[in-house]
Chain A
Amino acid sequence: MGALEAAPAARRRGAVRNVLRGAASPVFFLGPAVLLIAALFLAPAVVTVAISLTNLSVATGLTHYRWIGIGNYGLIAHSPWLVLVLRNTVLYVVATLVLFNVGFALVLAILTAHLSDRAAGVFRVLWMLPRITPSVILAMMWRWFAAEPPYGTVSQVLGLVGIPGHNWMNAHPWAFVVALNGFVGASFGMIIFSSAIAGIPRDQYLAAQVDGASAWQQVWRITLPRLRWPILFVTAYQTLSLLTSFEYILLTTNGGPGFYTTEVWSLYAFHLALSNYFGNTQFGLGAALAAVLVVLGLGASLVYLRVFRFGELVAAPRIEVN
């Protein structure tokens, strides 16, 4: 009798052990990554959102702040500068992305694909230089490049043909902000697109030539369709990094010239939270701005996935995992 009663309990214990054993390997494999993500991404995000719900600033210090709910978000929504900063952000991201990070990168990748390996290598390394140059040095170079006479390179060169010199960055701040970021950013797309183009079999181009396709038709009908996935990747990735990067703007125009001419969202957040003109840096408001930026980035990513029909691009995994 006793033995019979004990049996189900033992079986239950065995079942529990099996479940644990089954759970052990996923926990083992996923654990480190989950910990890292929690510590480095999740926790800061939670802290940011938490701070955004307070009036934390230099004035309140860490002891006298209050929880003010969504007050900061209300401030943002009713800010008179909201439309201006938002418009600047969209202009900055879209212009840099379309003209340089994707557009120019594609042109570079396609052109270098037709060069010899050595020439293409030299050319690509040249375009990598802005990326490996410290941003402060690069920004200083561009400032001197655009400076008024007798210093600025642009002014000197244009002076030779009789065009009066002035500070070109003040005259065309957006051109410089976009070009500077684009010169740094284009190499990323160029490398991604170049390797994708290198993966297209040469026979496909030969077949197209036999069929009478011009160089342009080969690019349009063979190369570009096969770059859909890399273009999606570069677009999404660079959108997010452009949304959050403001160091080149900070180091060149610093949001100017004049009032908020080139002030983008992340720079606006930085100015309010960490570098306030009046000395009273508003951590709470800055955190709220950062949180809004995350939502904007997520929204943009979702739109991209839709536009590029991401679902069709994803292949089944090669390695079967139960």
Chain B
Amino acid sequence: MDVVLEHVGKQFGRVTAVEDVSLTVGEGELVALLGPSGCGKSTTLFLVAGLYRPTSGRILFGGRVANDATPQERGVGMVFQSYALYPHLTVFENIAFPLRVRRTRGTEIAERVRRVADLVGIAELLPRRPGQLSGGQQQRVALCRALVKEPAVLLLDEPLSNLDARLREATRAEIRRLQRELGITTLFVSHDQAEALSVADRVGVMHGGRLIAVMTPADLYEHPPSRFIAEFIGTPPMNFLEARVEDGRLAVTGVAPRPLAHPIPPGTYVLGVRPEHLELAADGDLRAEVFLVEQMGREWLVHAACGDASLRLLTGAGAAVTVGSRVSLRLVWRRAHLFESQSGAAVPFGLADAPR
């Protein structure tokens, strides 16, 4: 089943939590909503779940308006950030809960609980209580409880944020596998970009209650449509340098002005360069002084000061940099991004001497 949001808004009293969100989650697609805390992504998920009612706009499930439909009528399964398992019930009874409340026959309950527990790999945990389980096991139980109803739409609210780093990677792969296998339409909320980018078919970025972009993970990284997204997506984060356009030339702070291939309105801009697109070079574009080297195994993250700006660049392990040394850096112009300094909107650009 596909889920469509049309100009959906939600207000709590005078506070606007979600404003004018339009989004389509296609049949069998996994869409992640990504954003900093308080951006309205969980509220949006609750609106889709039917726990909140939208104050404006329409929500459609399979083409039918579902604004006033209960979660039950929508056929959604949901995993909460806290897992929301019932501590007084065994794992079996937790998973059986959605079936019990709709008075499914006992034999069918036992069969369906066992099937979904096998699918997620927790069959041996069924007699235990949630308090006796690790975080990862609890998370799987919560997933089973969401799946046992065979929902048309699966909703995941920060399902991995309470797991430790290694388990998180394993679990997100597991969620992806299950979602593919079951072909279930899924909306996934996360504040962790690595999680969202790695799991989702498409990622919607939310900011201040608005959905500011919906793109594939690759597009989001390669072609961020705004400075906010460019800054938010990518670890370590993108570097930003002040720039000016004058007389058909792009002048970046600390870098000699370069001629533009196509005219751009003159004014102040911000140039964004990812840490992997700054390279150590004998005759680079700008000079900087190294003040910190973080050795991260496969690669090193070098922090260098260029005038007032602090730059981050990734080098291979064992690069010839030490704290205090002066380095020359080359910009990979083809992979750099230009943003309007006021609106933050991305501006396509190319250099006459470095075609994109």
Residues of A within 8 A of B (CB): 201, 203-204, 206-214, 217, 221-222, 225-226, 228
**How far in angstroms is the closest Cβ of chain A from B319?**
48
Is B86 in contact with A210, judged by CB distance below 8 angstroms?
no
Closest A residue to B49 by CB, please name it.
A210
Instruction: Name the CB-closest residue of A to B88.
Output: A225
Q: Which residues of B contact A226 (CB under 8 A)?
A: 87-88
Query: Residue of B at shortest CB range from A207?
Result: B84
> Across the interface, do A211 and B149 meet the contact criterion of CB distance under 8 Å?
yes
The interface residues of chain B lying within 8 Å CB-to-CB of A201 are: 82, 84
Q: How many residues in B have their beta carbons less than 8 Å from beta carbons of A? A: 26
Contact yes or no, B71 A209, CB < 8 A: yes
* Residues in chain B near residue A222, CB distance under 8 A: 86
Contact B80–A207 (Cβ < 8 Å): yes
CA distance A217 to B98 in the complex (A): 11
A207 and B79 CA atoms in complex are apart in Å by 8
Instruction: Answer whether residue B101 sits at the interface, using C-beta atoms and an 8 A cutoff.
Output: yes
A-B contact pairs, 30 of them (CB 8 A): A201-B84, A203-B80, A203-B81, A203-B82, A204-B84, A204-B86, A206-B80, A207-B78, A208-B101, A209-B51, A210-B49, A210-B71, A210-B76, A210-B77, A210-B155, A211-B71, A211-B145, A211-B149, A212-B70, A212-B71, A212-B72, A212-B98, A212-B101, A221-B97, A221-B100, A221-B101, A222-B86, A226-B87, A226-B88, A228-B88
Q: A203-B82, A212-B71, A226-B88 are in contact. Are A217 and B77 (CB under 8 A)?
A: no
Please give the residue numbers on chain B whose beta carbons come within 8 Å of chain A beta carbons, in ascending order.
46, 49-51, 70-72, 76-78, 80-82, 84, 86-89, 97-98, 100-102, 145, 149, 155
Report Cα–Cα, A98/B149, bound state, in Å: 38
How many residue pairs bridge A and B at CB < 8 Å?
57
- Complex contacts, A203 vs chain B, CB 8 Å: 80-82, 84
Which partner residue on chain A sits nearest B151 by CB separation?
A: A210
Assembly CA distance A221 to B88 (angstroms): 10
Q: How far is the CA of A217 from the CA of B102 in the complex (A)?
A: 10
Query: A214 to B76, Cβ gap below 8 A?
Result: no
Q: Is the interface of A mostly helix, strand, loop or mixed?
A: helix
- A204 and chain B: residue at smallest CB distance: B84
Shortest distance from the beta carbon of B309 to any chain A beta carbon, whole Å: 44
What are the 10 closest A-B residue pairs judged by CB atoms, nearest first? Answer: A212-B72, A211-B98, A203-B84, A207-B84, A210-B71, A225-B88, A213-B101, A210-B78, A203-B80, A203-B82
Partner of A206 from the list B84, B100, B102 (CB cut-off 8 Å) is B84
Of residues A203, A207, A225, A228, which shows the largest number of chain B Cβ atoms within 10 Å of its Cβ?
A207
What is the minimal beta-carbon distance from B78 to any residue of chain A, in angstroms?
A: 5
- Most B C-beta atoms less than 10 A away, residue of A203, A222, A225: A203
**Chain A residues positioned under 8 Å from B86 (CB to CB):** 204, 221-222, 225
Q: Give the chain B neighbours of A228 by CB distance below 8 A.
A: 88
Whether B84 lies near A212 (C-beta < 8 A) is no
In the complex, which residues of chain A have a beta carbon less than 8 angstroms from the beta carbon of B84? 201, 203-204, 206-207
Cα separation A123 to B50 with both chains bound (whole Å): 30
Cα(A203)–Cα(B45), bound, Å: 14
Question: Which residues of chain A have C-beta atoms less than 8 A from B97's C-beta?
Answer: 208, 211, 213, 221
> B88–A206 contact, CB under 8 A?
no
Nearest-CB residue, chain B, relative to A212:
B72
Measured in the bound complex, the distance between the Cα atoms of B78 and A84 in whole Å is 59
The answer to whether A210 and B51 touch across the interface, beta carbons within 8 angstroms, is yes
* Beyond known contacts A209-B70, A214-B101: 5 more, CB 8 A cutoff: A203-B84, A210-B50, A210-B51, A210-B155, A213-B101
A212:B77 contact, CB within 8 angstroms: no
CA distance A225 to B94 in the complex (A): 13
* Residue from A211, A217, A221 whose CB has the most chain B CB atoms within 10 Å: A211
A208: chain B residues at CB < 8 Å are 97, 101
B118 CB to closest chain A CB, in angstroms? Answer: 21
B301, chain A: closest CB distance, angstroms: 37
Shortest CB distance B288–A (Å): 48
* Nearest CB in chain A: distance from B71 CB, A: 4
